Amino acid sequence: MTKSLRERAEEAARQVHSILGVSQDEHPKEVADAIEQTIIKALLEERHRCADVAYKCCEEDKDKAHKVADEIRRVNTALMANLSSMR
């Protein structure tokens, strides 16, 4: 089964607590939230980078480049809406 971003963040938080040798009862939500936000930010930055690369790769066909870049940005917006609704 595929893990959600939240599940991955919580797993990473447990690992951080273990590495630091502190109880998992110490700010588990805050640590998981910070990790989740970092993952989301990285995903969004990569989506924007992909849109820019797609646009640059299709310079000879500007219409196609715009369509590909717009589609990547549309998916990005949908991802953000879905992630925001999960909170």
* Model pLDDT, residue 84: 64
The Cα-based distances of 18 to 12, 21, 83 in angstroms read: 10, 5, 27
Task: Give the separation between CA 48 and CA 17, rounded to whole angstroms.
Answer: 32
CB contact at 8 A, 32 and 61: no
pLDDT score of 1 more than 70: no
- Where are the domains positioned within the chain? 5-85
Instruction: Convert the pLDDT of each residue in 31-72 to its tens digit.
Output: 999 998 888 888 888 888 877 777 777 777 778 877 877 887
Whether the full predicted model's pTM is greater than 0.85, yes or no, is no
pLDDT category of residue 15 using cuts at 50, 70 and 90: very high
